[in-house]
Amino acid sequence: MTLSTYTEESATQLRAALANVLEASGQLTDPVWRKVFEAVPRHRFVPECWVLADGERRHVTSADPDWLDVVYSDDALATQLTGDVATSSSTAPGLMLVMLQALAVADGHRVLEIATGTGYNAALLCERLGSQLVATVDVDPVLGRLAEARLRSSGFDPLVRIGDGRGGCPAGAPYDRLIATCGFTTVPAAWLEQVRPAGLIVCPVGWGTVRLVVTDGGSAAEGRFLPEGSYFMAVREAGATGASAHPGRPGTARARITGLDLTDVTSDEAFRFVLSLVAPETVLSWERADDGQVTAVELWGGDAAWARVSGGTVRQAGPRPLWDAVEAAYALYVENDRPGRERFGLTVTAGGQRIWLDSPGCPVPVVPAAV
């Protein structure tokens, strides 16, 4: 892709303007990362994307007059579609910078990135540390090779591997830092073996991002969630598209009454984060009347569990009682003064993980997906 001098100059100005906005909002606090952000051209990694405009999906390319304005907005941009479903995206720059700053890298640190995507985040790491200290893995061979080509043409040469990021990248281990840019319900234990003791892991879990310190000689990791919201596409297996279909409502439903106000469930973003932890791999949606009142809430999981609530009546079926989890999570939430993300933490070992509130000694009950 050949870009005019005018385009490059415009992009440079737009990066500086966006950096000013992110700095004013508190998302960009480190002057070193500001310098990196202003140096790396996001537009070279996002030559096309899909955005929502007036409720319709719009395809934006480098031929569009507002392309650079779209690219240098603080928005996540869909960069791959499978059918009508977005299956890869470029993370909003503000969230990327929050996570990169939480990674607390220093000169000489080796970093592993899980989910290469467009390659833009890997480019930021390369600019900060040097390409020889960065490795990145993506499960999608098309995305991975395209990102590798864009990285090379932009002057960066990290180690790029195609594979399941849940297994890490042993070829470049051990790492001082690991950052994931796709969503997880559980932090893979394999990562603990590839990050040095006292090293850091920054990973989206549920609707938040956890910052873990590797402890006990590499056999465990523990830490708290960042206060900011975090919304990523879920990690996927090799060969999977990332697109998912509504599983319907199989099984014989059990009905009962609930006293939980549907507006409480749907309007409080902090509570929905808690729900993403206690009922992982669950999709929540709701219906509204013309006056905006929530009239029904529905949850479903990939394991065929589902629940629907309307008119004060719960109907649910499948291996997980999903609405029971909602009620228990809301009780926990209210009883603990509606805690923010930063009060929650995670402990990970080879045997699994434990979510806690305020301290590791206060575990939060989870309704896991059926195996």
Q: Is 230 a catalytic residue?
A: no
Task: Confirm if 307 and 315 have CB atoms less than 8 A apart.
Answer: yes
CA atoms of 208 and 202, how far apart (whole Å): 11
Single-letter code of the amino acid located at 228: E
Given the residues 89, 90, 230, 276, select the one marked as catalytic: 89
Phi then psi dihedrals of residue 148, to 5 deg: -60, -45
pLDDT at 224 over 90: yes
pLDDT greater than 50 at residue 176? yes
Residue 248 has pLDDT above 70, yes or no: no
| Dihedral sign of CA atoms 96, 99, 104, 110 in order | negative
Q: Is the pLDDT of residue 245 over 50?
A: no
* Average of per-residue pLDDT across 260-267: 90
For the chain, give every domain's residue range: 5-225, 254-335
Residue-averaged pLDDT of the chain = 90
Lowest mean pLDDT among 180-189, 275-284, 361-370: 361-370
Q: What share of the chain in percent tops pLDDT 70?
A: 93
Indicate if the pLDDT at residue 239 is higher than 60: no
pLDDT, tens digit, for every residue of 324-333? 989 999 999 9
What are 291's two structure tokens?
Answer: 């006056």
Question: Do the beta carbons of residue 122 and residue 158 sit within 8 Å?
Answer: yes
What's the pLDDT score for residue 244?
Answer: 47
* CB under 8 A, 24+ apart: contacts of 89-93: 89/117, 89/233, 90/42, 90/45, 90/46, 90/49, 90/117, 90/118, 90/120, 91/117, 91/121, 91/181, 91/232, 93/18, 93/22, 93/37, 93/42
Q: What is the structure's pLDDT at 353?
A: 94
Q: Which residue has the higher pLDDT, 343 or 243?
A: 343
Say if domain 5-225 classifies as CATH 3.40.640.10.
no
* Tokens linked to 286: 């709701």
Q: If we measure between CA atoms, which residue out of 7, 147, 5 comes closest to residue 63?
A: 7
Confidence of residue 53 (pLDDT cuts 50, 70, 90): confident
End-to-end CA distance of the chain: 46
Q: Which pLDDT score is estimated for 301?
A: 83
pLDDT tens per residue, range 80-125: 888 777 888 899 999 999 999 999 999 999 999 999 999 999 999 9
